[in-house]
Structure 1
Amino acid sequence: MDDNKRKSDRKLRAIKRAEKRRNRGLESTDDHTFNENDLSDDLTYDDEERYKIHRKQDEVNDNQEDRKEKNDPKTPYSINDKESDTQATKASKNHTESDSKKHRKKNNNKLSFNSLKDFNNQRKTRKQEKQDKYEGMSLQEKREQQRIERRKRQKQIQYTVITILVLLILLFLIYMFTPLSRISHINITGNKNVSNSQIEKALDIKDNSRMYTYSKKKGINNLEKNDLIKNVEIDKQLPNTVNVKVTENDVVGIVKEKNKYVPIIEGNKELKNYDGDIAGSGPILDDFKGDDKDSIIKALSNMSSDIRDMISEIKYAPEQNNQNRILMFMKDDMQVVGNMDTIAKKIQYYPQMSQSLSRDDSGNLKTQGYIDLSVGASFIPYGDNGGSDSKSDQNVRQKSQEETVAKDELQSALNKINEQSDSNN
């Protein structure tokens, strides 16, 4: 009963729209135009959509006919119409743009109409299949059949969920009780002065240690007991890898006490009880005591780690008129004389100074000498017998007359560095 009423309502609405359309004079000569003859008791939503599309098409055709009449040169027009020619020309561009938009809209309507039609056909097909399935059954038999199918679907869902849970449990048990979960890889990064063997020993990872039982907190606490280590991060990476990232305290200097080398880290802290290998970790300090030792440690702390790594040894070498004088032995066999109070600022230009000096094919200086940073920056060649002295006891000598030319050539390269240093200060 309700279906018949809805069909009759749609039929009446379609008739009213068709009457309004005729009253507005929008009748189309298209054979496929929707009209009263198309109305029947089996009127569907697709027919109404087809009616809307044809109606829009008729409007577009009427607009195109109107524009043709206006553009026809044989059509008489008055003198006043000439004044509107310019406006018509401007409007023609807008009409062209609107035509293209309407054309695209028409194509979109056709696509939507086809997709809607397919959807309705599929819905009708499914509905018909459902009706055929229960055809010939009483109401009670139909309900019983639906109840059986519902229970069948519920059982299928339950079997699927149980199967997934069983598989997950099996995978978990396989991982837990097989060698797959044993820690077999340790990746250590960031360490420089602390060896990998020391870190692995502090981590306390045994052959039977497993990923799910190993304590990261315990490993971090053990590593941070080492004074050279500032911070530690430990991450577990499935299935059996432990990643360790170490941040060390910088070693700014090394002091020799008796037969042992004691490292000095940031903050002027001496690690007297450290028994590890710190060779090459920082410059060796010789003959520094008390306040002089504190001053050179402060200067080294203000240097970058790259510059500190270039220094092999620093010797305290005061003079009568300069008690802060130091002698630095670099790892590239150069010597640098400086002042403890200013060496931190001036030594940052040492890589440029060293590169500016002339060297032979083997990398040795063509003119042997040292760089003086105590006042400005200059290169001073040694005397004839300077090469026979040891590094630690070599004295600073006045340049001879024949060495002046060599010094001038090398000094010209340092002048630019001096100017840059003064401008930064």
Structure 2
Amino acid sequence: MSTTMPVLKEPVKKRKSSRRLLTVLFLLFIVILSVLFFNSSISKISEIKITGAVYASTGDIGQAANIKIGDSFFGTSAHAIENRIEKLSPIESVTVSKKFPGKVNIAVEEHKVVAFELSDQGEMTAILSNGAGVKAAPGESLADRPVLTGWDKDNPVLSQLTKQLSAISPSDLNDLSEIVPFPSKAYPDRIKMYTRTKFEVVTAVSVLQEKIKAINAVIETQEPGKITMLLADTYVPFDVATAENENSSEKDSTQ
């Protein structure tokens, strides 16, 4: 009597070990490729372009950015570079853009010039809207900005003045030639301004922006004289003002 033997099925080969090996090899390949990439010249900064700088030197901007040719392109973010550059006193805002491979563009916008100062040696300093003083650019003219005379650097009114000047249209400042401190008990921020059209103006920093239109209106319609723009506004032509000063001097001499 014959018996039939059951057919044995071949065991399915397990491929887990081979898949693991492929995964390890793939990851190893990625690691090697990454190491080669980050050590190649294509991953380095190859060009740094700075635009918009007049009073901040490219050297100062580059030093503040803390990047240089050959550094890793991915080593620092554009935002981090912007934050470092904005700490420079002439800089109002900065935009950093990175373009692969290797290009970094830095576009700065500086605080605008609101006035100038002249030293005893004749050196000209540009006063920016944030109160910072920087060396004037070559060929810069005094023609459309006032000169600040007699101001101490630690005078708190000076920073207020520069803020006021920055808020006023440049066309409204064209006639101002000189601004000097002229404080009083009632007005610690009082100033005296001289114009290119030979007017003398007494006002206060706190009301300058409010009064500048009225000051210019008098200058445009009247003969040179003394203008006072404080709580009360007055205008006296110089011939009358001179006569009043002489009368006052005579009275003083008889007392």
TM-score (ref. length: structure 2): 0.52
Structure 1 counterpart of 2:123, which letter? K
Whether contact under 8 Å (1:300, 1:344) holds in the other structure is no
Residue number in structure 2 paired with 1:259: 122
Is there any run of 5+ residues in structure 1 with no aligned partner, and where? 1-135, 350-372, 383-395, 399-425
| Counterpart for residue 326 of structure 1 | 193
5 Å-filtered alignment, 1:40-55, equals: none
Counterpart residue type for residue 260 of structure 1: E
Q: Which residue of the partner structure matches residue 359 of structure 1?
A: none
Alignment correspondent of 2:252: none
Structure 2 CA distance for partners of 1:324 and 1:205, relative to 1, 3 Å: closer
TM superposition shift of 1:198: 4.3
Q: 1:315 deviation in Å?
A: 2.2
Query: 1:3-402 maps to which residues of 2 (within 5 A)?
Result: 137-138=7-8, 141=9, 144-145=11-12, 148=13, 151-152=14-15, 154-155=16-17, 157-188=19-50, 191=53, 193-196=55-58, 198-200=60-62, 202-203=64-65, 205-211=67-73, 223=85, 226-229=88-91, 238-244=100-106, 246=108, 248-249=110-111, 251-257=113-119, 258-266=121-129, 268=131, 271=133, 274-275=134-135, 277=137, 279=140, 284-286=145-147, 288-290=149-151, 298-304=160-166, 307-308=169-170, 311=173, 314-316=176-178, 326-328=193-195, 340-341=203-204, 342-347=207-212, 373-374=214-215, 379-380=220-221
State the superposition RMSD in angstroms: 5.2
Does structure 2 conserve the Cα–Cα contact (< 8 Å) formed by 1:254 and 1:283? Answer: no
CA change 1:245–1:162 in 2 (3 A) is: farther
Letter in 1 for 2:215: S
CA separation of 1:303 and 1:160: change in aligned 2, threshold 3 A: farther
d(CA) in 2 for partners of 1:175 and 1:306?
53
Greater relative contact order structure (CA < 8 Å, 6+ sep)? 2
Q: 1:216 to 1:157 in 2, by over 3 A?
A: same
In the alignment of these two chains, the number of paired residues is: 207
More helix by share: 1
1: distance between equivalents of 2:215 and 2:109?
A: 35
Contact 2:116 2:148 in 1 (8 A): no
- Relative to structure 1, the CA distance from residue 303 to residue 193 in structure 2 (aligned partners, 3 Å threshold; closer, same or farther) is same
Alpha carbons 2:131, 2:158 under 8 Å: kept: no
Which is richer in strand?
A: 2
C-alpha spacing 1:266/1:381, structure 2 compared with 1 (3 Å): closer
Q: CA deviation at 1:326?
A: 3.1
Give me the whole-angstrom Cα distance separating, in 2, the residues matched to 1:317 and 1:215: 44
Give the Å deviation of 1:175: 1.8
Aligned residue type for 2:40: T
Amino acid at match of 1:168: I
How far apart, CA to CA, are the structure 2 residues paired with 1:172 and 1:160? Answer: 18
Q: Percent identity?
A: 16
Q: 1:214 to 1:317 in 2, by over 3 A?
A: closer
Unaligned ranges ≥5, structure 2 = 1-5, 181-189, 224-236, 240-255
Partner of 2:71, secondary structure, is coil
**Inter-partner Cα distance in structure 2 for 1:165 and 1:376:** 78
* Distance of aligned partners of 1:283 and 1:254 in 2 relative to their CA distance in 1, 3 Å threshold: farther
Aligned residues of 2:130 and 2:162 also touching (Cα < 8 A): no
Secondary structure, counterpart of 2:45 in structure 1: coil
TM-score by length of 1: 0.35
Q: Which amino acid is the alignment partner of residue 264 of structure 1? A: I
* Distance change in 2, residues 1:267/1:178 (3 Å): closer
Query: Quick one: distance in 2 between partners of 1:176 and 1:267?
Result: 42
Structure 1 residue 200: deviation in Å? 3.1
Distance 1:305 1:185, change over 3 A: farther
Cα pair 2:111 2:130 within 8 Å, conserved: no
Within 2, Cα distance between the matches of 1:381 and 1:281? 25
